[in-house]
């Protein structure tokens, strides 16, 4: 089987802390794979290792048949990565960062100009393009990160919390863009706390807890993109119910002073 993303026994220690414990996943071309779990479960670490930004303590990963390792130039043009945990140089403008990113990926200047315009329009960043990133809100910084991940049309997208801070219009456009990417045979691996969006987009979901992949779930996605497991309004979704089953239902603390 040809796999876009394959990880085998990936582990990562930060000192004595085990952040990731023998993660093994296999993602086929043309699919969207979701990683969910509480804060600190290992989602960002997993994606950063797959992007070649962090060296695993043990295990190995391959993207498009190429071994992932920091500095592997063969993968640079094939992978797009976005995470709020990896900030920009905020003394540059959004336009400068996005254009430079396109040029670094080897795009022709005319292509960079056209794609930059398209991405700024899609993500409603046109008016802020010439502002310094230090003036950007959290949502604007995330939009810029998404634009940088998309500008070279990578075959594999690794997106850490791509919906955080986005307005409804941008979420809608990004969801449509993700579906288009998957329909073209490319692959997306994303992490998110938004269960509804994960169910709308992903066919398979892995639940991480304390660095360990506890369970994988197959989701039936209907043609309109709505999960067949979607529950009635006000109730837990199928995916959320399984999450609490795996990691434990959060304790509810009543505030007596309210």
| In contact, 11 and 57? CB cutoff 8 Å | yes
pLDDT band at residue 244 using 50, 70 and 90 as cut-offs? confident
User: pLDDT higher for 137 or 235?
Assistant: 137
Q: Which of 41-55, 77-91, 222-236 has the lowest mean pLDDT?
A: 222-236
User: pLDDT higher for 256 or 143?
Assistant: 143
Rounded to whole angstroms, what are the CA distances from 84 to 103, 140, 188, 204?
22, 11, 17, 23
User: pLDDT higher for 250 or 195?
Assistant: 195
The pLDDT value given to residue 228: 43
- Rounded average pLDDT over 54-60: 95
Report the DSSP beta bridge partners of residue 130: none
pLDDT, tens digit (0-9, with 9 covering 90-100), for 146-188:
999 999 999 999 999 999 888 888 889 899 999 999 999 999 9
How many Å apart are CA 37 and CA 39, to the nearest integer?
7
pLDDT at 119 over 70: yes
pLDDT band at residue 236 using 50, 70 and 90 as cut-offs? low
pLDDT at 224 over 80: no
Strand pairing report for 5-14 and 58-63? antiparallel
The pLDDT value given to residue 186: 95
CB burial readout 13-51, b (16+ within 10 A) else e: eeeeebbbbebebebebebbbbbbbbeebbbbbbbbbbb
pLDDT at 229 over 50: no
pLDDT averaged over every residue in the chain: 88
Instruction: With H, G, I as helix, E, B as strand and everything else as coil, classify residue 94.
Output: helix
The pLDDT value given to residue 159: 97
Share above pLDDT 90 across residues of the chain, in percent, rounded to a whole number: 69
pLDDT at 233 over 70: no
pTM over 0.85: yes
Query: For residue 216, which of 19, 24, 9 has the smallest C-alpha distance?
Result: 24
pLDDT band at residue 95 using 50, 70 and 90 as cut-offs? very high
The pLDDT value given to residue 221: 58
Q: Which of 37-41, 69-73, 181-185 has the lowest mean pLDDT?
A: 69-73
């Amino acid at each position: 089987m040809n796999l876009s993303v394959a990880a085998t026994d990936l582990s990562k220690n930060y000192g004595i802390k085990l952040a990731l414990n023998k993660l093994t996943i296999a993602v086929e071309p043309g699919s969207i794979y979701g990683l969910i779990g509480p804060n600190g479960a290992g989602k960002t670490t997993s994606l950063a290792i797959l992007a070649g930004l962090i060296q695993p303590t043990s295990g190995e990963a391959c993207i498009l048949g190429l071994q992932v390792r920091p500095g592997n130039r063969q993968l640079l043009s094939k992978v797009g990565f976005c995470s709020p945990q990896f900030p920009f140089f905020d003394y540059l403008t959004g336009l400068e960062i996005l254009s430079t990113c396109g040029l670094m990926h080897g795009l022709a200047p005319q292509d960079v100009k056209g794609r930059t315009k398209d991405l700024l329009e899609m993500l409603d960043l046109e008016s802020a393009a010439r502002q310094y990133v230090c003036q950007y809100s959290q949502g604007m910084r995330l939009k810029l990160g998404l634009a940088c991940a998309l500008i070279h049309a990578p075959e594999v997208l690794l997106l850490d919390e791509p919906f955080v801070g986005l307005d409804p219009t941008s979420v809608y456009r990004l969801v449509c863009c993700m579906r288009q990417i998957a329909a073209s045979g490319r692959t997306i691996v994303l992490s998110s706390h938004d269960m509804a969006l994960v169910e709308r987009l992903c066919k398979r979901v892995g639940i991480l807890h304390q660095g360990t992949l506890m369970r994988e779930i197959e989701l039936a996605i209907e043609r309109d993109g709505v999960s067949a497991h979607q529950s009635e309004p006000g109730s837990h979704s199928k995916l959320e119910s399984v999450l609490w089953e795996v990691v434990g239902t959060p304790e509810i603390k009543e505030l007596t002073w309210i």
